[in-house]
Amino acid sequence: MKRVRCRTPKSRLSKNRSARPGFTLMEVLLVLAILGVIIALVAPNLIGQQKQANVRAARVQVQGVEQACDIYAVDHNGEFPQSLDSLIANPGSDTNWKGPYFKNSTTIPADPWGNPIQYQYPGQNQGAGVDRPDIWSLGPDKQSNTGDDVTNWTKAT
């Protein structure tokens, strides 16, 4: 038996070699347009979720500072600290001080926007006859006494 080699015509062979695999400009533009539409639909939802998560984190931090103040007050016969620094280090010869009152921390925690937690004692917003400190986060606008502040008191609507 004789072997016969099949040969491809030269015109067909050269045609296959010159055709390169890849994407056309139109295909690339179509994919970019689809990605743009998806990002335009999803991005606002993600940004809103991040803002809500930061507000929730600020609430937790304000509550944590309030709990540290409550523990300090238990150690000091109902007296709250004059400043948050008293929760970190003994302000002098305080024999009742059993701190630091923040677990695993040597500094006052900052809010999610990088601002220090605000503190005022005696508080002005707790209600009549309530001797508790005001504790709040400035919120995303970093301004005090605005609607986005996260506080340990109930705001009037």
Has residue 10 got a pLDDT over 80? no
H helix or E strand, kind and range, residue 33: helix 25-75
Is the residue at 10 inside a domain? no
H helix or E strand, kind and range, residue 118: strand 118-120
Question: 3-class SS at 15?
Answer: helix
Is the residue at 25 inside a domain? no
Kindly report the CATH number assigned to the domain that includes residue 135: 3.30.700.10
Domain range for residue 65?
40-151
Number of domains in the chain: 1
Is the residue at 31 inside a domain? no
Question: Whole-angstrom Cα distance, residue 153 to residue 156?
Answer: 9
Mean pLDDT over each residue of the chain, to the nearest integer: 84
- The pair phi, psi for residue 5, each rounded to 5°, is -95, 130
Question: Whole-angstrom Cα distance, residue 65 to residue 73?
Answer: 12
Is the residue at 141 inside a domain? yes
* 33-44 tens-digit pLDDT: 999 998 888 887
Is the residue at 35 inside a domain? no
More reliable by pLDDT, 9 or 33: 33
Is the residue at 112 inside a domain? yes
